[in-house]
Structure 1
Amino acid sequence: MSVSPADDGLWCRRFHPAPDAAHRLVCFPHAGGSASYYLPVSTALAPRVDVVAVQYPGRQDRRNEPLTDDIATLADQVHEALRGWDDRPLTFFGHSMGALVAFEVARRFEREGSGPVRLYASGRRAPSRYRDENVHRRTDDGIIAEVKAMSGTDDRLLGDDELIRMILPALRGDYRAVETYRCAPGATVACPITALVGDSDPKTSVDEAQDWAKHTSADFDLRILPGGHFYLNSRAADVLKVLDDHFAAQAAPQGT
């Protein structure tokens, strides 16, 4: 039985509330990212799908709150915030760091007997695939250089010193969370997983994305799209088509 949502808009942002939608998509941002990154997704899918974007602490209107620089702790917090939002089928979509958070939140839901109908893991190697990375230990300039190389932030923002100072703590904390994350041995979810990856992503190879198959006891699907780590910025229509097809299949009568 679902309960009233535990979050009143602090963690869960609905840009286009769709109370009559049959399905809900929960979107998890990348390192340094915010809920507003998924505004175009909400615009495209509403009102057919109720889109909820997660807002992590330490950024935008939550920038004065303490950062959470540990994936497990962040997943605990998001799971608690999402209580009561499972009054309709949930689908999770996470990009980069968000894929790890989505995976861990799905595990927590499943321990309680619920969980998403599918997890979309975008731009992130499988939880069991480890690289020795230390971006979070770099200087401020080093972190900015990393973000520019990934093309995940508007260069106009990176040229604004005041804005850089505002986002750097969140970036450093998020990189620390990702780079210190260690997946529990044999950790899986019961829902199907679709992994999406850019064919020239320096952070995730196709082989590393393929290994998400080891983290589900259900079906697995791999989608390879042109582009780098933020392939979805230029291939938004392709990603939306994947989601559209998923929700259409969910809505179709059984056996059709």
Structure 2
Amino acid sequence: MAEKKYAPIRGSWGHDPGVPGDVYIVGAPTVAQFQAMPGNPPGFPKESGYGEGITAEKVNDNLYRLRLSLVAYGTRATTGSYTPYVYAGTLGAEYDWQLIVAKTTVQTEDPASAPYTHAFTEPLKQRYYGSQPLYAMAGWNNPHSATSSGGTWYNDVTKNTFDATNITWLKITIYGDDTFPLAYSYIQFKDIIDDYRPMAIRKNGAWKSLDNTGGFWQIRKSGKWIDVPKTSFSDDGKPNKSANQIRKSGTWKAQSKIGG
């Protein structure tokens, strides 16, 4: 089973002068990335199965949806530093987070300068309530419920899907209650899709996979070098899938990953 590839992402809730702090909702796949989030939150919730970031899940062909693995935490308004506290107000106060996703096909190392087209907007499926504990107060990772004991983590897929043909970057914001200015996360699409390069080389008596983040794989065709696309893990071993195939039991099937 392929390990999902996550990227860091963050959103924020607009500051209310009547409360002592601000709220961020974030996720990151490494300790350093998580603790570098605004306010420098402590610990690493991924170790407990929460707050890993954002990844893409293939629906079919070039149609994808996003999975968000997030935790909400507080920072002190006066210092900006991480502070353990709860969503302001009573259970009657409702907190909804909104997600906006845009995409581009521009090849660039400066994603902020690229033009984007809107992919979709939707509220996160989970609603939160006043007095619920934010990370890492006791109870923050409780099961969700519309009570003060409800957990303030998030792990779900988007209801919307999008065509990922030739996508290079996603521009994403997560915000709540008139957050301004909006903070954008730029996600390189290839970094969050579950695909692989099946080829390997024999080295020191073992097969060494050529599936790495750098380099490229090309084939000479009609006098030109053409990129060979990677294979989606969801197509692994399936008939007539992938540009990398092997003949098996009379059928061409997607070649599985070779080597470690």
Shorter-chain TM-score tier: under 0.3
TM-score normalized with structure 2 length: 0.23
TM-score normalized with structure 1 length: 0.23
Higher helix share: 1
Higher strand share: 2
Largest Rg, 1 or 2: 2
